[in-house]
Structure 1
Amino acid sequence: MTEPSAIVRRKDEHLDIALRQQAGGPSAFDELVLEHCALPELNLDEVDLSTGFLGWDFKLPFLISSMTGGPERGAAINANLAAAAEQLRIPLAVGSQRVALEGAAQAGIDARLREIAPSVPIWSNLGAAQLVQGYGADEARRAVEMIGADALIIHLNPLQEAVQPAGDRDWRGVLPAIERLTRDLGRPVIVKEVGYGVSAAVARRLHDAGVAAIDVAGAGGTAWAAIEAERIADRADRQVADAFQGWGIPTPRALAEVRAACPDLPLIGSGGVRDGVDAAKAIRLGADLVGQAGGVLAAALVSADAVVQHFDIMARQLAVACFSTGARHLADLKAVRILPRALPLHDV
């Protein structure tokens, strides 16, 4: 098992590299166009962005998704995110609590989060690989109780672990372990990928195991194999990791296919969501909430106000996208026609 101090160092390195990755660029969302409505017959000020999710009601369909870092910066980041979540009235998902559970450092993932954000959902986070290394309902309850969480996220990161030196290679028994948690924890269990997407087949297995929701977390955002490649000193190990540049199911495809496979399952769309227009496309493809982690990381390093401003801009962009498609409510947006950007020649 990796020493807790080594995990702390790794988390801080992850933060530095993730910040460098947020340079923008093309996205799979660019290949899709929401059909424009030149006669919306709407008042923009009356566009309603509210949504429900797992029994909660939110005025905005956004989730501050899981991110982490070393103790000093992690504490500041998490405090800023919690304060922003409380002001925006949106849920906050914390980064992995493995380090905190093993006693090395909490990086601000502690009871203070609930003090900062007393009235919005906070979701705990554990890695799926730990569920076959001795973690069970007791450890999950400790993670939940540590921050007064309302739900638990189990994150799936097999590719990251496979290319990471000393990563967790044995994933046998993860699905039954998740199923036991959904039965025994007494809180909703949400499962997410970390940036390579959930397929329709995996989503069906998770649905049948009793998970409350899935975050598809597709390719297009933070690329963990690339992050690990930057950290690897051994040349051969780095070449292994580098081969997975571009790997994964793009978020739009993952959303569409998982929604088709699990029509009634609450879904979160994350992975490469850059702005409110991408959020609109994610909602149209089946997302009930839209998550951002890397996209809001720079703001989180500045202040809670910077995070609030970031999401205020996203909300304005989403509202204009709804208005421009004739959608007064998000339910209307889900019915808007979506088109490929490139029109086949035979359709001209």
Structure 2
Amino acid sequence: MISDRKLEHLLICKNYDVSYNDKTTGFEDIELIHRALPEINNDDIDLSTEVFGKKLDSPLFITAITGGHKAAKDINKELAIIAESRNIGLGLGSQRAAIVNPELRDTYDVVRENAPDALILGNIGAPQSDLAIDAVEILDSDILAIHLNPLQESIQPEGDVDARGYVDSIKEICKTVDVPVMAKETGTGIRAEDAIELEKAGVSFIDVEGAGGTSWAAVETYRAEDRYLGELFWDWGIPTAVSTVEVVNSVEIPVVSSGGISFRTRCKLRAIALGADAVGMALPALKGAYEGQEALNQMVNRFNESLRIAMFLLGASNLEELKRSDLIIKGETKQWLEARGFDTKHYARR
């Protein structure tokens, strides 16, 4: 059953190491250039963004995590409360199970009950155009996310490996629903050419969700009887930093950078400096939800406080100025991008 699979996903993410083994996000190759004369007041720094249809107090998105099982109800409630109280974006997991099994609908109803004004993202798979209207209605979504997960589908025993017609289905979804549509990967990144195709199909936002954070091949490996395929493709994907640069430089629509973003690192700052409009975190928020509001508030506080200090050190008073900060791209990330035809030098003196 879908519901049982979703519960397994939650428990595996909570209890096992599902991070990439040898592949990183690539953000360690991004060096921001310090300003000794920032010429701004830290207290005046503005972290807000309005590019997703609502004014958010921070560029932090809690990206799609939970859905499809009764155990998700309490988690979704905790996430909804923090999204509402801190005015940040919240994405939910696939809604297919709740549409197919109405008894699971309350695991999503709890979101709007606790976050009436927050920016909420619904979620369906690329081939599920017939579910789009119901998905928006169930959550009263502000944005409908379409998840792309060919690697996960390839590894899980019950996976759907017929990806024909994805683009046509996405076009149909964009025409059918009365809210903007976001296309999002699920941990293996989006390349420039696919981003361009998605923009042409009508999506209004893209979440790259690149490699280096949670490996869904790893998650499915723990579920499989034969672990050969999961272990073979555990580190598959485009690193998040690379995918962010490729997509930001190829489309005109807002971009979310996610995949391996942690409030303990400076990945978020580097992602926005590379041009992302927001950054998404999933696993840290999931673990915080199990601990409660104190842990979730600490996560948001650390995210905002560290971002504010870094912006001060770069002389950036808002997110748009942060996007124009000077930085150096080095190492494997530079090699990858230059091999793909992207100029990394222009970032150094913007």
TM surpasses 0.5: yes
Q: How far 1:284 moved relative to its partner?
A: 1.0
Amino acid at match of 2:41: N
Amino acid at match of 1:272: G
1: distance between equivalents of 2:191 and 2:293? 34
Which of 219, 222, 228 is equivalent to 1:230? 222
Which of 13, 21, 40 is equivalent to 2:17? 21
Amino acid at match of 2:232: A
Aligned length: 329
Task: Show structure 1 runs of 5+ residues with no match.
Answer: 1-5
2: distance between equivalents of 1:70 and 1:179? 25
Q: Would you say 1:196 and 2:188 are equivalent positions?
A: yes
Q: How far 1:27 moved relative to its partner?
A: 4.2
Matched with 2:326 is: 337
Matched with 2:138 is: 146
Question: Over residues 137-180 of structure 1, what are the superposed CA-to-partner deviations in whole Å (9 max), with x where a residue is unaligned?
Answer: xx211111112111211100011001110210111001101001
2: distance between equivalents of 1:296 and 1:107? 22
2: distance between equivalents of 1:260 and 1:141? 32
TM-score by length of 1: 0.89
More divergent stretch after superposition (157-166 vs 102-111): 102-111
Give secondary structure in 1 for the equivalent of 2:37.
coil
Coordinate RMSD, CA, aligned? 2.0
Question: Over residues 6-50 of structure 1, what are the superposed CA-to-partner deviations in whole Å (9 max), with x where a residue is unaligned?
Answer: 221211111122223377996421121111112212222221111
TM-score by length of 2: 0.89
1: distance between equivalents of 2:109 and 2:25? 37
Matched with 1:268 is: 256
Give secondary structure in 2 for the equivalent of 1:110.
helix
2: distance between equivalents of 1:334 and 1:271? 19
Give secondary structure in 2 for the equivalent of 1:76.
helix
Q: Is the 8 A contact 1:222 1:294 kept in 2?
A: yes
Provide closer, same or farther for how the CA distance between residues 340 and 110 of structure 1 changes in structure 2, counting only shifts above 3 A.
Answer: closer
Q: Map 1:82-97 to 2 at 5 A.
A: 82-97=80-95
2: distance between equivalents of 1:24 and 1:239? 16
Q: Map 1:108-119 to 2 at 5 A.
A: 108-119=106-117
Amino acid at match of 2:272: I
Q: Is the 8 A contact 1:112 1:147 kept in 2?
A: no
Q: Is the 8 A contact 1:268 1:289 kept in 2?
A: yes
Matched with 2:104 is: 106
Q: Map 1:36-185 to 2 at 5 A.
A: 36-68=34-66, 71-103=69-101, 105-106=103-104, 108-129=106-127, 131=128, 135-136=129-130, 139-185=131-177
2: distance between equivalents of 1:214 and 1:24? 22
- Which 4+ residue blocks in structure 1 deviate beyond 4 angstroms? 22-27, 341-344
More divergent stretch after superposition (109-118 vs 58-67): 109-118
Q: How far 1:112 moved relative to its partner?
A: 2.7
1: distance between equivalents of 2:68 and 2:328? 43
Give secondary structure in 2 for the equivalent of 1:33.
strand
2: distance between equivalents of 1:96 and 1:55? 22
Task: Show structure 2 runs of 5+ residues with no match.
Answer: 335-350
> What percent of counterpart residues are identical?
39
Which of 251, 267, 270 is equivalent to 1:281? 270
Question: Over residues 67-106 of structure 1, what are the superposed CA-to-partner deviations in whole Å (9 max), with x where a residue is unaligned?
Answer: 0156343111100000000001112111111111111652
Q: Would you say 1:306 and 2:261 are equivalent positions?
A: no
